């Protein structure tokens, strides 16, 4: 089964560049997620792979076939659309078999594939109904079924869960993950939902502003964000950022001094840092623990407390007026206007240079 | 307990009654808002409808003479060869025009449903004939059909053929009027189809492209099923419109030759306004109304089937 290769792919609409020189390779059977905010170009990139948008420059390869000049139907890809795009006047069975009839597959083979897919998706009892007579979740399954029967090399999903309610979304997410185990094909899944991306992907492609920001496994994306954008887009609550001044710390690592005077000892190798004018410290709430005032690296006033059950998020206003989000236990007793200390886990701190590139703690064997 | 229950029901009664009275009162005041419309509707539509039917049961002229004759006018119509011919002509004309209007309109809409400047200009061009008055349209086409020096005559001459007198031929007069009408009326079906085509979700075409459907398969399996209600609507609107053929026939052939192009409306115009036999003309009008009502009812049935898919 082939992998997919994008080489310097560019797309423009008039004067506007919507995909800017993107290169990417997807391994056979890999589950790839394109993650990014609206308008970042992720759907356009997916549609270019499908053949629904032309490629202005660059090449797309599926296995050893160059496909970017082929018609969508000739690329051996199947797509599940955001709004399902089922043919409203055809029954579920006709919807699933339409593509197979068009390539003149024998009737017996069509029936076999449709029945097998319907059984897998538990929609056998719906085969004679029209899309208008079934629920949104069922339509989604039919759309997936229509993709499965083609036995494609590559499945493309364009925000397929965004029209489902919360409970159904979680269930369908799980089913798509199971589907990937069963079929012998790579998958590309476009979403703006970081939880979908983190839970489904082998690797995530984080896109912003027409470009790829980072490609990596979910944990790489989360623990070692390549840019400020990735660091702030992935993870809830968003990562805390603060301008810092660097100084030499122990063992060749750097220490960062926050505007309020607090000093955070990082595990970032000084030698690895570029000669940047300025640095920002980035640190997630889970690496900032609330402690009694005077015990941590700094101290501040709790402005707002969010109780999430298993943990509590505390918005702390520091002496310089900046607000950071720190974490406390689920049964935290912190109240608004309390004076609290904040303890930094410097080994989890990141530095971002003036080019917005991320620099991370030195890996030691078991670390990420 | 019982007293409490009694009190409760008393409470209920005293509360409910004023509310009901209030509702009654407000219902009447609501009526006031629709009264102007109802009055006009009754005066301008309902009353003339029944007055017309009542008139058709009379022997009447435009000078006030009027005598009740029951269904005599309808009996006369059923034996009137000119009227029966006019009914036949009207149906023949509908067969000539309506399918052509639907198919050509759809073809134009499919060809011009794109975002180019040329398409926009051509949409305007094809619609522009619809804004012309019937007088101009018939004048234009009389020039086209004229056997001496007409456009078609010249064309035939160029191929060495003798000219054809379209408008004075019993076989060709009505088809010639039909061609004129199609040219005049093509704008509306085209626009209705364009509007319908723009409602078809783009994703359906993309799904069809991924499903290896070629141009014809996409047209047949995606586009046409998606606009079939508009197709039915166009057919019915055009049937209702073309039943009322009058101006083109009146101005181009005066119903001739030998009544070969006389439609129903021309018949009742002549009976009513040149023979002054108003009751008879109105009776013919009632029959025309019946045909149109059947077509309109068919449209209602189609429009009601919203959830066809």
Q: Is residue A14 part of a domain?
A: yes
Please name the member of B201, B221, B228 whose beta carbon is closest to the beta carbon of A85.
Answer: B201
Mean pLDDT taken over chain B: 86
Q: Does B199 touch chain A (CB under 8 A)?
A: no
Query: What are the domain boundaries of chain B?
Result: 72-304
Asked if the structure places residue A365 within a domain, the reply is no
Average pLDDT over residues A316-322: 91
Q: Is the confidence at residue B6, as pLDDT, over 50?
A: no
B231's CB contacts (< 8 A; 6+ apart) are B102, B106, B193, B224
Residues of B in contact with A74 (CB under 8 A): 212
Query: Half-sphere exposure of residue A33, counting CA atoms within 13 Å on the CB side?
Result: 27
For chain A, the domain total comes to 2
Count CB atoms within 10 A of the CB of residue B196. Answer: 21
Taking a C-beta distance cutoff of 8 angstroms, is the pair B166, B241 a contact? no
Determine what percent of chain B is predicted with pLDDT higher than 90. Answer: 49
Token duo for residue B58: 């009379």
ipTM value greater than 0.90 = no
Token duo for residue B214: 């070629």
Give pLDDT, residue A37.
Answer: 92
In this structure, the answer to whether residues A129 and A220 fall within a common structural domain is yes
In terms of domains, do A109 and A159 share one? yes
User: Would you say residue B13 has pLDDT above 50?
Assistant: no
**Average pLDDT of the segment spanning B34-56:** 91
* Shared domain check, A158 and A284: no
Set of chain B residues whose Cβ sits within 8 Å of the Cβ of A149: none
Instruction: Categorize the per-residue pLDDT at A1 as very low, low, confident or very high, splitting at 50, 70 and 90.
Output: low
The 10s digit of each residue's pLDDT in B259-297 is 889 999 999 999 888 888 888 899 999 999 999 999 888
Domain boundary among the residues A232, A267, A301 is at A232
Helix/strand/coil for B274: coil
Decide if B212 and A99 are in contact by the 8 Å CB cutoff.
yes
Q: What is the pLDDT of residues A57-73, one digit of tens each?
A: 999 999 889 998 999 98
Q: Which DSSP symbol is given to A234?
A: S
Compare CB distances from A50 to B210, B213, B226 and report the shortest one's residue.
B210
- The stretch A265-286 carries a mean pLDDT of 89
Name the residue facing B207 among A74, A85, A103 (closest C-beta): A85
For chain A, say whether B225 makes contact (Cβ under 8 Å): yes
Å from B99 to nearest chain A CA? 24
pLDDT of residue B138: 93
Q: CA angle, B238 as apex, B188 and B191 as ends, to 5°? A: 15
- Give yes or no: residues A186 and A305 share one domain: no
pLDDT on residue B32: 87
For residue B210, give the nearest of A72, A89, A90 by CB distance: A72
pLDDT, position A15: 86
A298 and A354 within one domain: yes
Residues A328-359: tens digit of each pLDDT: 998 988 999 999 999 999 899 999 999 999 99
Answer for the pair B147, B163: CB distance below 8 angstroms, yes or no: yes
As a whole number, mean pLDDT of residues B68-89 equals 89
**CATH number reported for the structural domain that contains residue A137 in this entry:** 3.40.50.300
Percentage of chain A lying above the pLDDT 70 cut? 98
Residue closest to A11 by CA, chosen among A36, A35, A40, A33: A40
Let me know if residue A367 belongs to a domain: no
Contact criterion met (CB below 8 Å) for A44 and A11: yes
Report pLDDT digits (tens) over B150-181. Answer: 888 888 888 888 888 888 888 899 999 999 99
For residue A72, give how far its alpha carbon lies from the nearest alpha carbon of chain B (Å). 5
Identify from A14, A44, A72 which residue to disrupt to test chain B contact, counting B C-beta atoms within 10 A and taking the largest count.
Answer: A72
Domain final position from A192, A212, A232: A232
Contact of A282 with A350, CB cutoff 8 Å = yes
Domain membership of residue A349 as a residue range: 236-359
- What confidence category does residue B2 fall into, taking pLDDT thresholds of 50, 70 and 90? very low
Q: pTM for the whole thing?
A: 0.79
**Which CATH superfamily does the domain covering B72-304 fall into?**
MetI-like (1.10.3720.10)
- State the distance between the two ends of chain B, measured CA to CA, in whole angstroms: 57
The pLDDT-based confidence of B5 (bands split at 50, 70, 90) is: very low
Q: Is A292 exposed, middle or buried (0-12, 13-18, 19+ CB in 10 A)?
A: exposed
- Could you tell me the end-to-end alpha-carbon distance of chain A, in angstroms, rounded to an integer? 30
> Is pLDDT at B1 greater than 60 in this prediction?
no
């Amino acid at each position: 089964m082939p992998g997919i290769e994008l080489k310097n792919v560019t797309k423009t609409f008039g004067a506007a560049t919507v995909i800017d020189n993107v290169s990417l390779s997807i391994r056979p059977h890999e589950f790839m997620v394109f993650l990014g905010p609206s308008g970042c170009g992720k759907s356009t990139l997916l549609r270019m792979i499908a053949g629904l948008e032309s490629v202005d420059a660059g090449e797309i390869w599926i296995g050893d076939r160059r496909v970017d000049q082929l018609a969508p139907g000739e690329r051996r890809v199947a797509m599940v659309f955001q709004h399902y795009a089922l043919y409203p006047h055809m029954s579920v069975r006709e919807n699933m078999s339409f593509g197979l009839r068009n390539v003149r597959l024998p009737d017996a083979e069509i029936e076999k594939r449709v029945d097998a897919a319907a059984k897998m998706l538990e929609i056998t009892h719906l085969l004679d109904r029209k899309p208008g007579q079934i629920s949104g979740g069922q339509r989604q399954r039919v759309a997936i079924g229509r993709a499965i029967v083609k036995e494609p090399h590559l499945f493309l999903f364009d925000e397929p869960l965004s029209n489902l309610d919360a409970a159904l979304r979680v269930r369908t997410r799980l089913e798509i993950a199971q589907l990937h185990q069963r079929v012998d094909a790579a998958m590309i899944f476009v979403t703006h939902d970081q939880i979908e991306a983190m839970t489904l992907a082998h690797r995530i492609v984080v896109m912003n502003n027409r470009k790829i920001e980072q490609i990596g496994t979910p944990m790489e994306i989360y623990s070692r964000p390549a840019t400020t954008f990735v660091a702030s887009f992935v993870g809830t609550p968003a990562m805390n950022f603060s301008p810092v001044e660097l100084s030499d710390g122990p063992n060749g690592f750097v220490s960062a001094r926050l505007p309020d005077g607090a000093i955070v000892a990082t595990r970032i190798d000084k030698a690895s840092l570029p000669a940047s004018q300025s640095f920002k410290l980035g640190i997630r709430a889970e690496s900032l623990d609330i402690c009694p005032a005077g015990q941590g690296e700094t101290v501040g006033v709790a402005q707002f407390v969010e109780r999430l059950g298993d943990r509590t998020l505390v918005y702390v206003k520091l002496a310089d007026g900046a607000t950071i989000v720190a974490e406390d236990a689920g049964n935290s007793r912190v109240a608004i206007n309390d004076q609290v200390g904040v303890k930094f886990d410097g080994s989890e701190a990141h530095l971002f240079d003036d080019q917005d590139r991320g620099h991370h703690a030195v890996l030691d064997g078991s670390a990420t | 307990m019982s007293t409490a229950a009694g009190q409760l029901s008393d409470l209920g009664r005293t509360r409910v009654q004023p509310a009901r009275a209030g509702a009654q009162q407000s219902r009447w005041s609501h009526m006031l808002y629709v009264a102007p419309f109802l009055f006009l509707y009754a005066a301008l539509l309902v009353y003339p409808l029944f007055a017309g039917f009542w008139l058709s049961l009379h022997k009447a002229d435009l000078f006030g003479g009027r005598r009740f004759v029951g269904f005599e006018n309808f009996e006369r119509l059923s034996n009137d060869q000119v009227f029966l011919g006019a009914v036949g002509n009207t149906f023949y004309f509908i067969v000539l025009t309506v399918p052509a209007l639907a198919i050509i309109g759809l073809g134009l809409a499919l060809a011009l449903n794109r975002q180019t400047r040329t398409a926009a200009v051509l949409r305007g061009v094809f619609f522009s004939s619809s804004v012309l008055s019937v007088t101009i349209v018939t004048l234009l086409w009389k020039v086209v059909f004229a056997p001496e020096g007409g456009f078609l005559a010249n064309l035939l001459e160029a191929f060495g053929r003798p000219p054809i007198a379209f408008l004075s031929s019993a076989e060709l007069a009505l088809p010639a009027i039909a061609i004129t009408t199609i040219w005049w009326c093509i704008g509306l079906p085209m626009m209705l189809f364009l509007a319908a085509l723009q409602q078809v979700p783009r994703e359906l075409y993309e799904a069809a492209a991924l499903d290896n459907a070629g141009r014809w398969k996409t047209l047949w399996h995606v586009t046409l099923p998606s606009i079939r209600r508009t197709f039915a609507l166009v057919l019915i609107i055009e049937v209702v419109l073309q039943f009322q053929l009058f101006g083109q026939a009146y101005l181009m052939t005066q119903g001739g030759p030998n009544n070969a192009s006389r439609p129903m409306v021309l018949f009742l115009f002549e009976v009513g306004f040149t023979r002054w036999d108003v009751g008879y003309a109105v009776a013919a009008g009632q029959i025309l109304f019946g045909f149109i009502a059947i077509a309109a009812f068919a449209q209602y049935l189609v429009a009601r089937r919203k959830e066809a898919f």
